[in-house]
Amino acid sequence: MIKQSYLFLFAFCIIAACRSEIRDGKIESPYGWEILDVPSNASIRGLSALTSEIIWASGTKGTWLLTTDGGRNWATGIIAGLDTVDFRDIEALSASTAIAISAGQPALVCKTTDGGATWEIKYEGPKEAFLDGMSFYSDKKGFIIGDPIDGKWMVLETQDAGESWTWLDTSPKAEDGEGSFAASGSTIIAQESYVLFCSGGSQSKTYHSENGGRKWIIKNTPIIQGQPSQGIFSLSRLNDQNVIGVGGDYLQPDLAESNVIIANLLSEKWALPSGDLPTGYRSGVAYFPRYHWAIAVGPNGSDYSNDGGASWARFSDEGFHAVVMDKAQGTVWASGSDGKIGKLLY
């Protein structure tokens, strides 16, 4: 009994020492994911964390999910009764208010102001529309990117918290076979008058505006491209100058070639990193400034970079569709198939 007590005490001290290193910021890499108990078997691609406690999610079968206690308990339901619709992106505005967009037809923007109890359709696109991703830079103002119609991108703007949406006349033109991916809702980044979105398919480009979408700078990228399943699937901004894009080929989840690009917006040129790449197709990326980590996720596992995307290392075999940092910048969350939601452990 005494020997067992010493062994227990020794183990406890080792764990405490590890935790101390984490608290002191000495840990150099994430060490996995805490998989939460979620009351859903939907494929969850929409994910938005307002704080470490308030997280909204959405996915197949019209599913919405909300936790206000960090994932210990979840409320769930069907968005606007649309149980056959896939809602691949959601934006948390508060514990009671969120906006969700569908992928495919019908192309809908829905909003709740009562914690998911009821949802109203705020926008419905034309029959050709396919909405891909959404980004808000304040409680009132945001953008949605949708696939091109008649050779012109759908760039939608709201200035009233998603109550109404306007398709910008200045939306840029697209090439034949070019589209965006409704993979993790992060093919678009908006920050005040700065808007950046990406494409894939026949060509994989970035479209960058510094005046709210009125004028666009278009750049080619070196990420894998040329097939409908290839290109950039997710963007994350590290700071005012540096951006990371991840992707690959979703039909080849283990292909680890030309699947990440980095750019300094001052030079406006995208490049492949010089070091090791993520270990497969990656559908989501998020930057965690507390430890200067970029976290990339895909169906075959998770990777991180601590040098601005120049090199990557695998840290988990857990596969996910999407990854986000909460808006308070304290936690990182990921979502995937079969109702999987995870919280980054570090």
In whole angstroms, give the CA distance from residue 37 to residue 330.
21
Flag whether pLDDT at 9 surpasses 60. Answer: no
Please state, in angstroms and as integers, the Cα–Cα distance from residue 216 to each residue in 69, 127, 204, following that order.
41, 26, 16
Q: How many degrees, rounded to 5, is the angle at CA 291 between CA 288 and CA 294? A: 45
Report which of 249, 243, 279 is spatially closest to residue 261, judged by C-alpha positions: 243
Residue 317: CB atoms within 10 Å: 11
Flag whether pLDDT at 19 surpasses 50. Answer: no
Beta-carbon-side half-sphere exposure of residue 274 (alpha carbons within 13 Å): 2
DSSP H/E element including 3: helix 2-23
CB 57, CB 67: distance < 8 Å? no
Report which of 50, 98, 20, 33 is spatially closest to residue 335, judged by C-alpha positions: 33
* Percent with pLDDT over 70 in the chain: 92
- Check residue 69 and give its pLDDT: 98
- Check residue 245 and give its pLDDT: 98
Q: Given pLDDT bands bounded at 50, 70 and 90, which one contains residue 267?
A: low
Residue whose token pair is 């750019």:
263
Q: Given pLDDT bands bounded at 50, 70 and 90, which one contains residue 28?
A: confident
Residue 208 in 3-state DSSP? strand
pLDDT per position as a tens digit, 31-81: 999 999 999 999 999 999 999 999 999 999 999 999 999 999 999 999 999
- Check residue 266 and give its pLDDT: 63
Residue 151, Ramachandran bin (φ over 0: left; ψ between -120 and 50: alpha; else beta): left
More confident residue, 157 or 2: 157
Report which of 128, 68, 149, 60 is spatially closest to residue 100, judged by C-alpha positions: 60
pLDDT per position as a tens digit, 123-148: 999 999 999 999 999 999 999 999 99
